[in-house]
Amino acid sequence: MRYGGGPPRDVIPLEAPGNFRTVGHEVSEEAPEIIRKGWVALGDGRSLEDVADASPNVSTNRVYRLFLDDRSCVFAKVASYGSFIHFRQDHQRIDRWIDLLAGGRFESFLAPVLSRDGDVFTYRDGREWVVFYGEVDRRGFLPRRLEDGQVDALGGEIAALHDESARCAKSLDATWKTMGSDLAALYDAAADPRWRADRGFTRAQAALVQRHCDTFFQNAEHLGYHGFEKIPVLLDWNIGNFSVETGEAGLRLYSRWDYDWFRLEPRILDFYSLSRVVRQSGDETRFSYTPDVFLEPRFQRFLLAYHEVSPLSTQEVRFLREAYRFFILNYVLHVGEHFFQWSVAPRLQNEALEFYLPAADALSLETLVDLIS
């Protein structure tokens, strides 16, 4: 469920033909207590037979596959960081988004969130909470390195999804969590000696973080962030958390799961992870988060294919730099310890201070602006 390379380790596991159990995942002798309590509180009517740990082991979220007495499966995501209010609100918006997609091209694209009494069901027990998802059908995965035609097709498909999501957004309420609220929280946290000590940051490094928060706010306002259409986006696209099908119509998005990085924000927030999907080098085991992928010819190809379906403004394209800056500030520096393995997070945070943030300042996107002008 994270960015990164290697095999699609973050895939919700596939069921092997003729085998009810999930191959390659340990079946837990005891399900976490919150799952048992939450399943009873949901009142689904089906009995819980067994539980398999399907966690990707790349974040503090834990994912379990639940085997039910009717031989169907659902998934449970257990979280223990951040805000339960944000967690619940995000899933309420996702559920409404799924409803609004009904009857259109992406009607069955998103994995359903289980509900009770007409509302998304989330269960809280102290500092843990859980949500349940239906098992989504899957087709094939994109290869580690896409062919040119796949880059073009993906650009057009993402544009079509964004257009449908923009239609849905008109009936979606805003969320309390925004880019602004996240970076305001980071700005204040950087002034806290305990926050700096926990990460081994010096005062100068914390000041650098605050300066980039200020830069984001200034540039985003100048580019017209407040006037950009806010749509539901998922931010984290990698070859292991969505599936595609190929037929007479060509390559098409088929299904998507993993809602960790859900947002109601400008569509541009989806583009950094997509630039990594189409990059020249393909999927890599050791990964970094430099912004140079924006300047690769393959991303230009993707962007042009997107633009042909859903035209972008020049200010939106320029906002790519601030979307990247936000990703580094929030998901790497602010809460990176929750999203990356303990052995990876410190490296990425150090690289963010030394390389990624300076690279954001130096990044020029005028080549992309010229491309769509």
Q: Is residue 4, in this structure, part of any structural domain at all?
A: no
Q: Is residue 12 part of a domain?
A: no
Report the helix count and the strand count for the chain, using DSSP H and E.
Answer: 14, 12
Q: Does residue 17 fall inside a structural domain? A: no
Sign of CA dihedral 259, 260, 264, 265: negative
Output the pLDDT for position 23: 34
Do 296 and 345 lie in one domain? The reply is yes
Dist CA 65 CA 134 (whole Å): 10
Q: Are 303 and 368 in contact (CB under 8 A)?
A: yes
The domain tally of the chain equals 2
Q: Residue 74 in contact with residue 134, Cβ under 8 Å?
A: yes
What is the per-residue pLDDT for 344? Answer: 87
What pLDDT does residue 24 have? 37
Task: Report whether 8 contacts 257 (CB < 8 A).
Answer: no
Find the domain containing 317 and state its range. Answer: 148-372
In this prediction the pTM is: 0.90
Residue 35 counted as domain residue: yes
Q: Which residues pair with 73 in a beta bridge?
A: 67
What b-and-e string marks burial along 156-194, b requiring 16 or more CB atoms within 10 Å of the CB? bbbbbbbbbbeebbeebeebebebbebbeebbebbeeee
Supply the pLDDT for residue 5: 29
CA dist 3 and 10 (Å) reads: 9
Is residue 15 assigned to a domain?
Answer: no
Residue 140 lies in a domain: no
Domain finish residue from 111, 134, 157: 134
What is the overall mean pLDDT for the chain?
90
* Same domain flag for 249 and 112: no
* Sign of torsion over alpha carbons 352, 354, 356, 362: positive
Q: CATH number for the domain including 277? A: 3.90.1200.10
**pLDDT below 50 — which residues of the chain?**
1-27
- What sign for the dihedral angle of Cα 329, 330, 335, 338? negative
**Is residue 103 located within the same domain as residue 170?**
no
- Which residue among 77, 105, 134 closes a domain? 134
Asked if 94 and 152 sit in the same domain, the reply is: no
Same domain for 36 and 67: yes
67 and 102 both lie in a single domain: yes
Q: Clarify whether residues 122 and 225 are in a common domain.
A: no
CATH number at residue 73: 3.30.200
> Reduced to 3 states, what is the DSSP secondary structure of residue 151?
helix
* Same domain assignment for residues 107 and 173: no
Last residue of a domain, one of 102, 134, 166: 134
Same domain membership, residue 212 and residue 121: no
Q: How far from 39 is each of 77, 86, 136, CA to CA, in Å?
A: 12, 21, 19
Do the domain assignments include residue 13? no
Same domain, 184 and 312: yes
| Model confidence pLDDT, tens digit, residues 173-194 | 999 999 999 999 999 999 999 9
Are 78 and 172 part of one and the same domain? no
Q: Does 201 lie in the same domain as 123? A: no
* pLDDT for residue 287: 82
Inside any domain, residue 326:
yes
